[in-house]
Amino acid sequence: MTDRVAVVTGAAGGIGEAVAQLLGERNVTVAVVDKERERLEETVSRLSAKGLPVQAFPADVTSAAEVRSMVDAVERRLGPVENLVNAAGVLRLGRARNLTDEDWHTTFAVNSTGVFLVSRAIADRMVPRGRGAIVTVASNAAATPRTEMAAYAASKAAATMFTKCLGLELARYGIRCNVVAPGSTDTPMLSSMWHDESGPAGTVRGRPEEFRVGIPLRRIAQPVDVAHAVAFLLSDQASHITLGGLTVDGGAALGV
């Protein structure tokens, strides 16, 4: 993966930052993207202090104009983009009937439309070059119903199928598109779902009253666990893998 340029969205923390760090450690020049400018700059400071080739490109993935401008700036400053990781995401919890219009629209704007806008803009650059790889970080909730996560699960299902349809259309150009589906991962998004100190143990153990079986491997994933799966699918070791999905959830979805 040496000497490539990658764009990673949602890189101001969590899985996105872990992906950016791992790619940087593999000598990939990483354009980190997030709308949270201060947090994004903090990410760049942390990673740059480790000697990693990372640069910040603040942008809102829900804005087509900002996305196009961001991609132009990345290619102008860093060179042709060969890898894209769609890791930007938001979570709005609530029973399906209690979700507000704003909850639904915001969730889809980031988790689904954001994947569409960024993937489209970068795929347009990849096609004439005849190379590239795209990975969308979705969720095991895209295929496993979860209480109070209807908007999130639906948006991730949409992002998953969009990525696979895009991959089908781009295969003729030698461009691969795959999905990584994390389960419970040690990020602020997960901790926002906990109500007290029993949260982590409850996640691992499961909650029958919410139809959650827990995590068979008996631990919550770290962001780097997901990052390794992403990096594999971007690498030449996965050169014959496209339209695929790799679940990283410790068995929480029982392999479904």
Instruction: Give residue 22's pLDDT band: very low, low, confident or very high (50, 70, 90).
Output: very high
pLDDT of residue 46: 97
pLDDT of residue 44: 98
Q: Which residues are catalytic?
A: 152
pLDDT in tens, 219-235: 999 999 999 999 999 99
Q: What is the CA radius of gyration of the chain?
A: 17
Q: Reply yes or no on whether the pLDDT at 199 is more than 80.
A: no
Instruction: Give residue 157's pLDDT band: very low, low, confident or very high (50, 70, 90).
Output: very high
Q: Reply yes or no on whether the pLDDT at 194 is more than 80.
A: no
Question: What is the rounded distance in angstroms from the CA atom of residue 43 to the CA atom of residue 108?
Answer: 25
- 0.85 surpassed by pTM: yes
Tokens, residue 205: 């153990």
**Parallel, antiparallel, or unpaired: how do β-strands 132-137 and 175-182 relate?**
parallel
Query: To 10 degrees, what angle do helices 14-25 and 223-234 make?
Result: 50
Contact 111, 151 (CB under 8 A): no
First to last CA, the chain: 31
Q: Reply yes or no on whether the pLDDT at 197 is more than 80.
A: no
pLDDT in tens, 115-140: 999 999 999 999 999 999 999 999 99
All structural domains of the chain, each given as residue ranges with its CATH number in brackets, are: 5-187+222-248 (3.40.50.720)
Instruction: Give residue 191's pLDDT band: very low, low, confident or very high (50, 70, 90).
Output: confident
Mean pLDDT value across residues 21-31: 98
Question: What is the rounded distance in angstroms from the CA atom of residue 67 to the CA atom of residue 121?
Answer: 7
